[in-house]
Structure 1
Amino acid sequence: MTTDKIAHATILLVDDDPSTLLLASKPLQDQGYTVLQAPGSAEALRLYAEHPRPIHLVVTDIFLPPPGFQLSVEKNPYPRVNGLEMVERLLDKKRDIRIILMSSTPGPDLQSRGLIREGLPFLKKPFTSDALLTLIRDTLAGPPATQGPTKPSAPGKGEVEWVD
């Protein structure tokens, strides 16, 4: 992204903790970013699909509220899924998006469990405003996230898929 676009980027923050949304939004707004907030994946997917202007960066918690039970014949286009599944759905819709994953669990622990997507920046919570702003600037200036498999290609090997 160009320097001008970086300065006026729209950022979607996704976290079920209202204090994290508040603490992350304030310094971003102070720097001139447009900040959108979503408390879960369903709200984030809907906002991403329906927002009238481009969303340049998504900063999401990896652990989001679990799916709820739903009786419906139709498939829900905006289901409650974990942060990684939400990232995959966003990448399926738009390939030139930038994404930052965040969690209070250390990155190496997440990697050892296969819960972090390679190639995506990671922000450990709690974080400082400076750490957040630096990572956001670097991510916006860098290349977009790439699409690629994050799950084993053979289904049914002990993985559970939530359907909403």
Structure 2
Amino acid sequence: VFNLSNAIMGSGILGLSFAMANTGIVLFIILLLGVAILSLYSVHLLLVTAKEGGSLIYEKLGERAFGWPGKMAAFGSITLQNIGAMSSYLFIVKYELPEVIRAFLGLEESSGEWYLNGNYVVVLVSIGIILPLSMLKNLGYLGYTSGFSLSCMVFFLGVLIYKKTILPCPLPFFYQHE
């Protein structure tokens, strides 16, 4: 459950605010509803195919539907999806984690410590955290890290809601009505 929830609420959620800022609220809601409908339909098709094909493995479904090219297409799409997700997480680690470290340590912008260099941080995180997790023999153990990740998301959501109620909105539109 935690692995599936983490996949659904992955790093793509960070791009939603950027998409909304560039499309506007009306077009964003239309696009979001369109993607939600297409996602529901694709899950429906996957469930029907799994039931008819008698398999729950993507590669086997692709092989039963289209032979060897279907199996390779399923394998390729899974691989590309995982590479994209991992790249987005590493991008966030590279550019945001040094800023978090700098804020926690109270360092100035121009300090040149190695642990504030995003290149070193991303290699350290990759070798120290991602590599051991990817070498687990039983992927069920990733449920614990996914649960931790989801609890962090819920915590930060709570902090965001709390801070929103305390801080005033700096937009001049909200001060004209007072």
Tell me if both proteins adopt one fold, taking TM over 0.5 as the criterion.
no
Q: TM-score by structure 1 length?
A: 0.23
- Greater C-alpha Rg: 2
Hey, which of these two has a bigger chunk of strand by percent? 1
